[in-house]
Amino acid sequence: MFISAFVGFPPFVLMTLVAGAARMNLWLFLAIGLVGRFFRFAVCVLVPHLVRPWLHG
């Protein structure tokens, strides 16, 4: 579940259906999804700032 939230493959929306069908605890699902998405978008924000010095060096 975390990998899907972080990487986006398989699509996280499909994993929500799988989690529901598997009767996964809602709070556990929300926590894993929130942490995974946070790291995904943190990487999306931080990578350009880390790469910029190399491009304009």
Burial group, residue 17, by CB count within 10 angstroms (0-12, 13-18, 19+): exposed
Cβ pair 33, 5 in contact under 8 A: yes
pLDDT bucket at 6, cuts 50 / 70 / 90: confident
pLDDT tens digits, 13-55: 899 999 999 999 999 999 999 999 999 999 999 999 999 888 8
pLDDT at 20: 94
Q: Which amino acid is at 35?
A: V
Under 8 Å CB-to-CB from 10, ≥6 apart: which residues? 4
Cβ pair 31, 1 in contact under 8 A: no
pLDDT at 57: 65
Tell me the HSE value of 36 on the side-chain side, using a 13 A CA sphere.
18
Q: Write down the pTM of the prediction.
A: 0.75
pLDDT at 38: 96
